[in-house]
Amino acid sequence: MSLTFEHVTLGQRVLFGTSAAAANLAAEVARLGAGRVMVIASDFGTKMARTVAADIEVALWHHDVVMHVPIETAEKARTAAAEAGIDLLVCVGGGSTTGLAKAIAMTSRLPIIAVPTTYAGSEATNVWGLTEALRKTTGVDDAVLPVTIIYDAALTLSLPVAMSVASGLNGMAHCIDSMWAPRADPINAALGAEGIRALSHGLPLITENPSGAEGREQALYGAYLAAASFASAGAGLHHKICHVLGGTFNLPHAQTHAVMLPHVTAFNTAAAPEAERRIASALGSATSLTGLATLYKTIDAPRNLRDLGFSEDHIAEAAQLILPQVPASNPRRLGMPELERLLHDALKGSTP
Ligand code: NAD
């Protein structure tokens, strides 16, 4: 069979080292020749960010971080950066913090160094997200892609186990959805498969020993691969569903991904044998579903949308909003009945 595809690899420096964030950040700031650095970290992340930024001069600290980046929060941060004459943005935190740095870069074109502390993966994508009047919009702009990512597993040790599990499965969802997303190709599938392997190895180690370095490192490495494959392949069915559930019904981001993933995987792999083979093999299991079921049991993953605030009454509206967004690349056709069935199963947490 001939191999024909078009693939874009996004250019970033990735510095990976446990307990090396401060030294790596100082070296990167010097390499980029920045003189006016703005450090963005939520109130919660401030202590961690001060340790990370211990060896650089900080012109401006910014702590006003809100999930899903409301436009008012973005505008305030953009004004603060402009007034302080900032020439480099450094964000230390989860996807919400990285999202705010991206919102500033969108309009200012300032470079970003991202220091992630969850497994969400925003640091490795050129996708921004903003919320205006309760509607979340996303877009693609290479200016929001951080020039450098500094990964330090020590910064994730404080991430509670339940949040680590949900966030890691958010990463796993990037990998699996990449197998059938609109720009799926052999390169992003390879990245995704290695991401599945690393996350399925790391997450059980975290639940077993949350303060151990190995599980945290594997999960962080997997999270990068996951985001790189997602950035390249685009959003598939799974992400379209979760975008509606988070944006319109305000369900928590990472947990919603975790709950939906086995259901979308079961639905799509039935019509995608190559994806099924890759996912099962990466999970080290006979089938993708038994692999996910074993992993979910081991790490006690969230199973139903009801616990996250979704209800029977929301199903028809959610399905209607999702339907027009289903990518043409999806391996299996689905209409309202199939979408409603998927949401119903995820609501109840039935085994797919
Ligand atoms: P988050 O950044 O809101 O963090 C979740 C919670 O964990 C917060 O309360 C935070 O304070 C806390 N936290 C973060 N790091 C911690 C640590 N090391 N120890 C203890 N607590 C810690 O959530 P998230 O799941 O990282 O990111 C979700 C957001 O990122 C959503 O808005 C989502 O849309 C966005 N996102 C964007 C992309 C993209 O490509 N643009 C990709 C993935 C996620």
pLDDT per residue, tens digit, the chain (352 aa), is 579 999 999 999 999 999 999 999 999 999 999 999 999 999 888 999 999 999 999 999 999 999 889 999 999 999 999 999 999 999 999 999 999 999 999 999 999 999 999 999 999 999 999 998 877 888 999 999 999 999 999 999 999 999 999 999 999 999 999 999 999 999 999 999 999 999 999 999 999 999 999 999 999 999 999 999 999 999 999 999 999 999 889 899 999 999 999 999 999 999 999 999 999 999 999 999 999 999 999 999 999 999 999 999 999 999 999 999 999 999 999 999 999 999 999 999 988 8
Q: What does the chain come to in residues? A: 352
DSSP state of 324: G
Residues with CB under 6 A from ligand 1: 42, 44, 67-68, 93-97, 99, 117-118, 120-122, 125, 127, 129, 155-156, 158-159, 163, 167, 253-254
Distance from the alpha carbon of residue 322 to the mean position of ligand 1, in angstroms:
24
Residue 12, classified by CB atoms within 10 Å of its CB into exposed (0-12), middle (13-18) or buried (19+), is middle
As annotated, the residues of the chain forming the CATH 1.20.1090.10 domain(s) are: 161-348
Q: Which of 119, 121, 120, 56 is nearest to 90 (CA)?
A: 56
| 3-state secondary structure at position 40 | strand
State residue 19's pLDDT score.
Answer: 98
State residue 45's pLDDT score.
Answer: 87
Atom of ligand 1 nearest to the CA of 166: 25
State residue 68's pLDDT score.
Answer: 86
Q: Which of 184, 174, 171, 172 is nearest to 331 (CA)?
A: 184
d(Cα 168, Cα 254) in Å, to the nearest integer? 8
Report in angstroms the alpha-carbon separations of 126 from 64, 102, 160, 170: 22, 9, 28, 17
State residue 280's pLDDT score.
Answer: 98
CATH of the domain spanning 13-156, picked from 3.40.50.1970, 1.10.357.10, 3.40.50.300, 3.40.50.2000? 3.40.50.1970
Nearest CA to ligand 1 atom 32: 68
CATH node for 161-348 = 1.20.1090.10
Atom of ligand 1 nearest to the CA of 136: 34
> Which positions ≥6 away from 169 have C-beta within 8 Å?
199, 203, 254, 257, 258, 261, 301
As annotated, the residues of the chain forming the CATH 3.40.50.1970 domain(s) are: 13-156
DSSP 140-172: E-GGGS-SEEEE-GGGGTTS-HHHHHHHHHHHH
State residue 277's pLDDT score.
Answer: 98
Atom of ligand 1 nearest to the CA of 129: 41
Atom of ligand 1 nearest to the CA of 128: 41
Nearest CA to ligand 1 atom 6: 94
Question: Largest alpha-carbon pair distance within the chain?
Answer: 58
State residue 86's pLDDT score.
Answer: 98
Q: Which two tokens stand for residue 111?
A: 């470079």
Bridge-based pairing state of the strands 135-140 and 127-132: antiparallel
Report whether 305 contacts 251 (CB < 8 A). yes
Distance from the alpha carbon of residue 116 to the mean position of ligand 1, in angstroms:
9
Residue with tokens 């790596």: 24
Atom of ligand 1 nearest to the CA of 42: 11
Nearest CA to ligand 1 atom 38: 122
